[in-house]
Structure 1
Amino acid sequence: MSADNELASLLSNAWCGDAVASGVCSEHATAWALRGAMSSPRQLSGAAQALDLAQWQDPRVGWGVVLPDRDGLGDADKAVAADAPAAIRRLIAARGNAPVFRYRPEIAKDGRLQRYYPHRGPASLRLSGTRGTVGDAAVPRYLLIVGSPEQIPWRFQYRLQTDAYVGRLDLDEAGLERYVDALLNDWPGHQRDVDAPLLWAVDHGHPDITFLMRKTIAETLFKAFDADGFHPLLLTGAQGRLEDFYAGLKQRQPAFVLSSSHGATFPLHDLIQLKAQLGAMLDVDHALLDIGALLRAWNPTGAIWYAHACCSAGADRPSTFQGLVDEQSSLGRMLAAVAGIGPCTAPLPRALLGSERPLAAFVGHVEPTFDWTLRDPDTGQRMTDALIVDTLYTALHSAQRPPIGLAMDGYYDAVAGLLLDHIEAIEAFNNHEHDAETRARKAKLLAMDRLAMVVLGDPTVRLPV
């Protein structure tokens, strides 16, 4: 297939019940590509680099909470999170009466947070200002969003994570109690084995996107682990069935799990059922992951899971990719159906993080991921090393064991360059340069795909030493 044809069509890792979602770029793809993307990420100063950014307890680094703002509540109560669930108030107190920030839609457009105080009027703060927890205008580097994507949108999380180390908890009160108890007590009852990472890669064969995912994600990470003294297990091929996955988790009790598969985006005609199984992994026989069976087989306490699957973290409305592909293609219809259920967190991470034995963190995508982000359609270059090698291996599994939020930070660094490419492509389009709209489309898709990878759980959790 020629590069022009590659850049006119998209494969996703979404399974719609009878086929993979794919699509040809629509007549509106140029308009989609030329719409503005997110603002550029931060550039850390040399002085900030000298800090040990893994030490969130350092007041120059800091940790804080982001809650939805609420009218009708006094500023003093907002300042101490009086309206927050009891578990979050306990966590704030245990972390030195950590600062509380609020999401307000009218200022979020500029990447700002609202902060209230008992001794003065409220302030609207940018993350690029004073960092840490010292002073009324300081914003910590670690931020925990507490609330659903309906209350605090995914797009605001995308924006925050370009300037801070961000996680989200979208759990009911019972789930929050269990998660916070485990977090504050260092995951009691854990059986995490950091030397025994488990990788599960479903592969339906070329040209299915799972073949590319296995080669560029699972095998790449397995080789990195295997070459450096770890004892990884890669389950793929005939071992791409759920029973093999459950058995591997039960036997090894890994501290780190990677899964690579299609994510469930069906049935498109039944939004209730679609939401109930959104993003769930499908095995080589297209059997759907069973959360109950998973939790009976595995003690996830304190583990970190990266799931490369469509909608593994959740869904959004409108879709970030609305207008990119033909509305009548399987991909176009899938995007419309998933957007129809509204912004939400996927069931699997909610169940794991809020379970009796809570997972520490879940890393996944909101909406689908695409083949362009795995392999450059122009050059064929593999595009996953920044995520797989630099982030999930070199950073997360380093001897220092950095928090998940800090480990993920390097992955978002490339967004600045991609958005600059997007801006330059728009300028080129306005100057009627050849292939400018193709460049704009690719740069925007790659940037938004990176931003849509999110951390669910507290951003300070880390692998055990």
Structure 2
Amino acid sequence: MKDPIPSLEDPLILNGIDGATGQYLVPPVALPAVAEVAEPRRKEPYFDAWRKWLGFVPRLLKFDLPYGVPYGDYTQAGWGVVFPASASDALRKSLEPLIAHRGKRMDAARFHVLTYQPGETAHQFLRRHGAPLGDVDPTVVPYYLLLVGGPDVIPFDVQHSLSLSHAVGRLSFDSPEEYSRYADSVVAYETGASVPNHRQVSWWGPKHPGDRSTELSADSLVAPLVRGADVDDTSFLKVPVAAQAGFASRDAIEQAATREWLLDALHGREERPAVLFTASHGVGFKANDPLQLTKQGALLSQDWSGFGAMAPAHYVAASDIQDDARLHGLVAFFFACFGMGTPANDEFPLTPTRKGEALASAPFVSALPRRLLAHPNGGALAVIGHVERAWGFSITPLGVSKPTLQPFHNTLRAIMAGEPVGHALRGFRDRFSNANSALLAHLDTNTSDGKLGPRELLFQWIERNDARNYVVLGDPAVSLRHNDLQALP
């Protein structure tokens, strides 16, 4: 397998395939040119230029729950739902079954219905509700927060920032009926006499010839998670994450990762996995394309015939999920560009102007996870994935010669152990914090320590944004009833 760490001779390849042309959404960029962007040579001072490019970079603090309060128990760590101020009565009523269900399981002081005001930052939201800086007090603002509504009413940036100190999820649907279906589905899963899923993880990872992105994701992400080691490493195999949790594995990598295979897994035509993990290109469309809202973030399968070709038969989109699909009780993790959503503007501008082009007329949550969560036959519990593009830096961080998959491993292992999904994602928050700290050290004019070269500076910035953009769609307090999962026949 080709070295996944780009050198100054290699182009920087951005993930994502254009759903209209079948080419990369963004053509490969020569690294020398990109490095020039990272080191501005204009009249304005160096650090001022970078601060403008980065925007506000918060100095991260360590947040803690009170001593003895377990993060993994939402009844102790607290649960709250956050409605936008514009929420209709019908929207609020649609979630009453879930809100009442959570409220009955916990002390009233740790249960909150909160309101987000337009234009607030995450810090302003927390401060208005009385949250002390640096602490998470479940009786003031709970650790588990469910945001209600799309990024047009509660911005993605607010979700990202709250996730640094809280376990955050989001629900975003087009109608109150879809919110009701999700709420009823979660309550039914958590209160039913049994669960419908098998004790199994399904893995899916296409690998397209000549495509560096899926070579990396198939060989250095999916295969190691399935096997316990990189595809090229036969000297030592660790116990795979599924086996550690006592789960069976069913995988489709490279040629086996077809559209039909994934649709079979989603429709429960053989077994019904409790966990589904996919790594692929996400299909993207330009801002003025009428297919963007319904197809953006669709999962590109092995059926794709290569660059220059594109057809609906090459990917799995929301419209492919039939009403007879059996998704109830599933937790899915999609490693794909725009898999969870799309911001209004490009968050990775690699041009000298440092201005992100418009990606959409307004930010939105992707259709595929919304379809899974509000499915009429019982919805998925949660879907994890990426807002914006997903980069290979999640797999091979800056300066690392081999895949470093601990956040993926720990997230999946925690989910299989029955931890709440929102808290299971904490490893990616730590990665964001670490990358952010490196950038802060670089921008600190009072010290000479931590200064980065142009290439390292660029990669660190991308790695920071990439780690920040992992989100949970669904209630962050949901968890697998792992002890009740069915054994495979």
Question: What TM-score, normalized by structure 2, do the two folds share?
Answer: 0.79
- How does 1:403-422 map onto structure 2 within 5 Å? 403-422=420-439
Tell me what 2:297 maps to: 279
Partner SS, residue 299 of structure 2: coil
Tell me what 2:73 maps to: 55
CA distance in 1, matches of 2:126, 2:291: 35
Deviation at 1:250, TM superposition (A): 2.0
Match 1:374 to one of 372, 395, 400? 395
Preserved CA contact (<8 Å) 1:200 1:240: yes
- How does 1:19-418 map onto structure 2 within 5 Å? 19-20=23-24, 21-24=26-29, 26=34, 28-30=37-39, 31=49, 35-36=54-55, 38-45=57-64, 48=66, 50-58=68-76, 61-70=77-86, 84-96=91-103, 98-108=111-121, 110-113=123-126, 123=129, 125=131, 128-129=134-135, 131-133=137-139, 138-171=140-173, 172-186=175-189, 190-193=195-198, 195-223=199-227, 224-225=240-241, 227-228=243-244, 229-248=246-265, 249-266=268-285, 268=286, 270-286=288-304, 287-295=314-322, 298-321=325-348, 323-325=349-351, 336=357, 339-356=359-376, 357-376=378-397, 378-383=399-404, 385-393=405-413, 395-398=414-417, 401-418=418-435
Read off the aligned partner of 2:366 and give its amino acid letter.
A
Residue by residue over 1:78-137, the C-alpha shift from the partner in whole angstroms, topping out at 9 and shown as x without a partner, is 9xx96742122343333336312222345416353376xxxxxxx45456345112xxxx
CA distance in 2, matches of 1:150, 1:269: 16
Preserved CA contact (<8 Å) 1:199 1:222: yes
Deviation at 1:18, TM superposition (A): 1.7
> Please, which runs of 5 or more residues in structure 1 have no aligned partner?
71-77, 116-122
Higher RCO (C-alpha 8 Å, min separation 6): 1
Deviation at 1:373, TM superposition (A): 2.8
Deviation at 1:15, TM superposition (A): 4.0
> Please, which runs of 5 or more residues in structure 2 have no aligned partner?
40-48, 228-239, 305-313, 483-489
Identity of aligned residues (%): 23
Partner SS, residue 128 of structure 1: coil
Deviation at 1:448, TM superposition (A): 1.2
Partner SS, residue 8 of structure 2: helix
Residue by residue over 1:270-305, the C-alpha shift from the partner in whole angstroms, topping out at 9 and shown as x without a partner, is 422122200000111221214344335630101100
Tell me what 1:74 maps to: none
Read off the aligned partner of 2:28 and give its amino acid letter.
G
Read off the aligned partner of 1:308 and give its amino acid letter.
F
Match 2:471 to one of 446, 454, 459? 454
Q: 1:4 to 1:293 in 2, by over 3 A?
A: closer
CA distance in 1, matches of 2:479, 2:59: 27
Q: 1:226 to 1:184 in 2, by over 3 A?
A: closer
CA distance in 2, matches of 1:434, 1:114: 33
Read off the aligned partner of 1:217 and give its amino acid letter.
L
Deviation at 1:216, TM superposition (A): 2.3
Deviation at 1:463, TM superposition (A): 1.4
Preserved CA contact (<8 Å) 2:281 2:300: yes
Read off the aligned partner of 2:214 and give its amino acid letter.
T
CA distance in 1, matches of 2:398, 2:98: 46
Deviation at 1:392, TM superposition (A): 1.4
CA distance in 2, matches of 1:140, 1:89: 18
Deviation at 1:441, TM superposition (A): 2.0
Preserved CA contact (<8 Å) 1:305 1:363: yes
CA distance in 1, matches of 2:449, 2:183: 55
Preserved CA contact (<8 Å) 2:205 2:253: yes
Q: 1:19 to 1:112 in 2, by over 3 A?
A: same
Preserved CA contact (<8 Å) 1:32 1:324: no
Preserved CA contact (<8 Å) 2:287 2:360: no
Deviation at 1:437, TM superposition (A): 3.4
Deviation at 1:173, TM superposition (A): 0.5
